[in-house]
Amino acid sequence: MRLPPKGTTKKIYCNTCNAETNHELQSAHLRRFNQQWDGEMHLSGQESMYCLWICRGCESATFEEVYCEYDWPPEAEVSTFYPKRENAVRQILKDYQHLPPELWSIYREVIEGFNVGLQITCAMGLRALLEGICIDCRIPDSGETYGLSGKLRALKEKLEKQGDLPVGVSNALDYLKGIGDRAAHGLDSSTRSELEHAIEFVEHLIEFIYKTERQKTVTRLSDSSESLVLSALQRGTLF
């Protein structure tokens, strides 16, 4: 890794300008990580570069830490900005007052996982949230409705029979299952854009099912059964 010269410019998202702007490098420092064996110093193969950038628009400062291994190509370097870039964070955590506490907990972890860039964790959380919604809507986990695929198919049929199903929600259920399956079985990380759309689809589904405390579009489990089943779901013992 080479230190860029002072005055180098780079496009960085500016939290103050709320846009990607030109930033000028004020200073940079390169650190190589060493380890000692038998009284001798040996390079461990790791480097970190610390850069101070100033926005050419508003003159606010941004600190960048760049990490790499010696044999990594430049495109593999990992950059972290401080303060955290606001354009990379989904800041909306909706207050679904009528969502069961166990499902609310999973929903919150989905949003938090997305915000910190844990995309596989976020996708698996979406899958768990769908499982929980199906269970809460009394979709049995047996026979033709065994597993998430069968439960989602049954949930779609049940919601369609209720009428007034929002356009796109039915297709969204298939889309969401695909993302969750890839994360759970193939360890395939969906893109941030895909996950953002998936979260929006789940939120539309939640809003449709849990409209008010007394007016639900589907019959739910009794409180005692719901708590028992969903607690097991949250512990990961149901799938």
State the CATH number of the domain containing residue 170: 1.20.120
pLDDT tens digits, the chain, 239 residues: what are they?
788 999 999 999 898 988 889 999 999 999 887 655 555 555 556 889 999 999 999 999 999 999 887 666 776 678 889 988 876 655 467 888 788 999 999 999 998 888 877 878 888 888 899 889 988 988 887 777 677 777 877 888 888 787 766 666 767 776 766 665 555 555 555 677 778 888 888 888 888 888 744 344 444 444 443 444 444 444 444 33
Tell whether 17 and 77 lie within a shared domain. Answer: yes
- Number of domains comprising the chain: 2
Query: Could you give the CA distance from residue 1 to residue 70 in angstroms, rounded to a whole number?
Result: 8
Domain of residue 41 covers 9-88
| Per-residue pLDDT reduced to its tens digit, 33-51 | 765 555 555 555 688 999 9
> How many residues belong to the chain?
239
66 and 160 fall within a common domain = no
177 in the same domain as 69 = no
In percent, how much of the chain has pLDDT > 90? 20
In this prediction, residue 213 carries a pLDDT of: 40
Q: Edge to edge, what strands does the sheet with 78-82 contain?
A: 9-14, 19-37, 40-55, 61-69, 78-82
Given 35, 59, 88, the domain boundary residue is: 88
> Is this model's pTM higher than 0.75 or not?
no
